[in-house]
Amino acid sequence: MSCLFCRIVAGEIPSRVVYADDTAIAFLDINPWHRGHTLVIPRRHVDDVVSDPAALPEIAPAIAATAKLLVEKLGCDGINLLSNAGAVAGQEVFHLHVHIIPRYASSPGLRAMIGPDPAIDVDEVFAALRG
Ligand code: AMP
Ligand code: ZN
């Protein structure tokens, strides 16, 4: 199995899973842009959001549940949802994923959405979400 995210679903590669249901899993991004940056993916392999129109509706309940969890546990002030389809759009992992990006009043606006923040301790965030 060569797909990185299929290997995460299979448990072959460790991840920090914050939500899971029969259809989807949600895990913390290893290179977060904001505290709590999470990826929601279908358990089945789908390349991207346009290659199989059924896939996004399938994972919609997981996206909603994960967004609610992030609001409740991290107290974020807003959320961005993003799914890149195709290399030209910035997609780097070719297994459909929706970025859920919690946003905080200290760093507002769309222009501040993108870009890794190396100061974020992903294990600390994971502990906060599980507690
Ligand atoms: P994209 O550019 O939309 O394909 O985003 C891919 C995302 O996957 C990036 O934000 C990466 O930081 C993230 N990522 C890559 N490998 C892993 C991994 N092993 N665990 C968690 N997130 C990952
Ligand atoms: Zn895959």
pLDDT of residue 30: 98
- Where residue 131 falls among pLDDT bands split at 50, 70, 90? confident
- CATH code for the domain of 17: 3.30.428.10
- Where residue 1 falls among pLDDT bands split at 50, 70, 90? confident
Burial of 57 (C-beta count, 10 Å sphere; 0-12/13-18/19+)? exposed
pTM over 0.95: yes
Q: Is 97 a catalytic residue?
A: yes
Ligand 1, atom nearest to 13 Cα: 19
- Is the Cβ–Cβ distance between 30 and 4 less than 8 Å? no
* Residue 78 phi, psi dihedral angles, 5° rounding: -170, 175
Mean pLDDT, range 56-79, rounded to an integer: 98
* Residue 73 phi, psi dihedral angles, 5° rounding: -90, -30
- The total number of structural domains that make up the chain: 1
> Which residue range(s) make up the domain with 73?
4-125
Query: How does pLDDT run across 34-44, given as a tens digit for each residue?
Result: 999 999 999 99
Percent of the chain with pLDDT over 90: 98
For the chain, helix, strand, coil in percent to 5 are: 30, 20, 50
Q: Which residues line ligand 1 (CB under 6 A)?
A: 4, 13, 15, 27, 29-31, 39, 84, 90-93
For residue 131, being part of any structural domain is answered with no
Query: How does pLDDT run across 7-16, given as a tens digit for each residue?
Result: 999 999 999 9
